[in-house]
Amino acid sequence: MALIEWRESYKVGIRSIDYEHGNLIWVINDLLGKLSKDHTTDDIVQALGEVHALIEAHFALEEKVMRDIRYSSYPAHKKDHDRLLDDLREIMEGVEGGGDFMKTLGETVNAWFTVHFSTFDKEFHSLAHSQR
Ligand SMILES: [Fe+2]
Ligand SMILES: [Fe+2]
């Protein structure tokens, strides 16, 4: 089973964005799925580092568009992005101390996507799309 499942509730209603979010989930699953059975802590930290970089790049792009259109909810939206990146960093640090990072990561990211995509992203992308 994939670590993160795509859910209908993740849809923001704009095809290109839904595709991007779906792809993000696919790449995260792929990166973590490639960890071999006898992975080392370093392997996990490296895979999580790639996940972090990927998500960060997606956020940076969104935030650039927000600044470009002088989006009024930018601070709150960015704060929510930063919160997930902080959580991911904490999970990376936790790997060193053992524990079931996959479970924590799956729960954290699923919960975050469920809320963020259907609220912050839906609102922002609908507005940005209507201004084109
Ligand atoms: Fe997004
Ligand atoms: Fe966002």
Rounded to the nearest 10 degrees, the angle between the axes of helix 41-68 and helix 101-116 is 10
CB 129 within 8 A of CB 27: no
- Residue 126's domain comprises 14-130
Please tell me the number of Cα atoms within 13 Å of 37 on its side-chain side. Answer: 0
The average confidence (pLDDT) of the chain is: 89
* 6 domain residue, yes or no: no
Our separate counts of H helices and E strands in the chain read: 5, 0
Ligand nearest to the CA of 115: 2
Of the pLDDT bands very low, low, confident and very high (cuts 50, 70, 90), residue 33 is: confident
Read off the CATH number of the domain in which 33 is found. Answer: 1.20.120.50
Ligand nearest to the CA of 119: 2
Query: Could you give the number of structural domains in the chain?
Result: 1
**46-91 residue pLDDT tens:** 999 999 999 999 999 999 999 999 999 999 999 999 999 999 999 9
State in Å: Cα 42 to ligand 1 middle: 28
The better pLDDT of the pair 59, 38 is held by: 59
State in Å: Cα 78 to ligand 2 middle: 7
State in Å: Cα 103 to ligand 1 middle: 23
* 93 domain residue, yes or no: yes
State in Å: Cα 59 to ligand 1 middle: 6
The pLDDT assigned to 25 comes to: 93
* 80 domain residue, yes or no: yes
The pLDDT assigned to 1 comes to: 64
Of the pLDDT bands very low, low, confident and very high (cuts 50, 70, 90), residue 22 is: very high
